[in-house]
Amino acid sequence: MHTGYCSPTSSPPPSAIQELRATVRVLPPQDSYTSTLRNNVRSRAWGAGIGCSFHIECCCIVKKGGGTIDLEPRLSHTSAVEPTLAPVAVERTMTTRAAASNALRQQRFVREVTIQYNLCNEPWLKYSISIVADKGLKKTLYTSARLKKGEVIYLETHYNRYELCFSGEKARFVGSSSNTSDAEHEKHHSSHHHSQNGDRGSTEHELRDVFRWSRCKKAMPESAMRSIGIPLPAEQLEVLQDNLEWEDVQWSQTGVLVAGKEYPLARVHFLSSN
């Protein structure tokens, strides 16, 4: 459709047609792929380092009675009748009633894309802070609580895949004369506390949840990941940060800040270790 060999239609094909056959040539990969609008279909911009490229060499109709009909591409055709398939690349911000009304009219023709294809061409959710940020009144729904129960977050930039998982508990000692506020204690009221007596007075032994941030050495399909285990084994990962407290992971509208380093994110996916 993008190259113009065929056009979308609501009517069924003629009964004499058996199939539409395309010849696809495999080519070396490019560093990136630009988005182009052709024949009312907009291709996706692609920045991933994938293994190969594809080119449509030719298309033909195969007739039921035998024989073929070669089709010619239409590289500059446009039509106001055929549907336009054009994903929105930029989020819209509406500040006035007029802008909101205009945006609603546009949405009858253009829909926001919430599913993207990951580095293995599998459907993942488009990254949004609402997917990963702690939310809700029930603490069991918090992202940090979900990780502690065994779920793992996989996040992708346009080039790399990362893993964020729960890695255990870490003891932290706090002196009785600490300036830690009551609010801070309340914030971590679910942590376990143990008191010890020493020469310098009492100290608190506090267990804190810690998390691990790693880069996946290779982006694998979900079936392969599940077969070797979730979270992924050590040989499949490059651990970038370990013993992270949840506060060390800061989510934004465009990505995540981990221990001071920013990662622009495109896609997100939750997998369970069960």
pTM metric for this prediction: 0.54
Contact indicator for 271, 154 with CB cutoff of 8 Å: yes
Neighbouring C-beta atoms of residue 34, cutoff 10 Å: 10
What H or E segment, with its residue span, contains residue 205?
A: strand 201-216
3-state SS assignment for residue 143: helix
Among 7, 59, 31, residue whose Cα is nearest residue 159? 31
Measured CA to CA, the distance from residue 62 to residue 104 in angstroms comes to 43
Contact indicator for 41, 2 with CB cutoff of 8 Å: yes
3-state SS assignment for residue 54: strand
Measured CA to CA, the distance from residue 144 to residue 133 in angstroms comes to 9
Among 209, 72, 219, 198, residue whose Cα is nearest residue 149? 209
Q: Using one digit for the tens of pLDDT, what is the confidence trace for 70-123?
A: 998 887 766 665 555 554 444 445 456 665 566 555 555 444 557 888 899 888
3-state SS assignment for residue 126: strand
- Characterize the bridge pairing of strands 17-27 and 161-175: unpaired
Give me the phi and psi of 259, to 5 degrees please: 50, 40
pLDDT means over runs of 10, the chain (274 residues): 77 82 90 79 71 88 90 76 52 53 55 76 88 77 90 94 94 58 43 42 74 96 93 96 93 92 94 80
Q: How far is CA 114 from CA 17, 44, 88, 136, 177, in A?
A: 36, 13, 10, 22, 50
Measured CA to CA, the distance from residue 271 to residue 163 in angstroms comes to 10
pLDDT recorded at residue 83: 57
Number of H helices, E strands in the chain: 5, 16
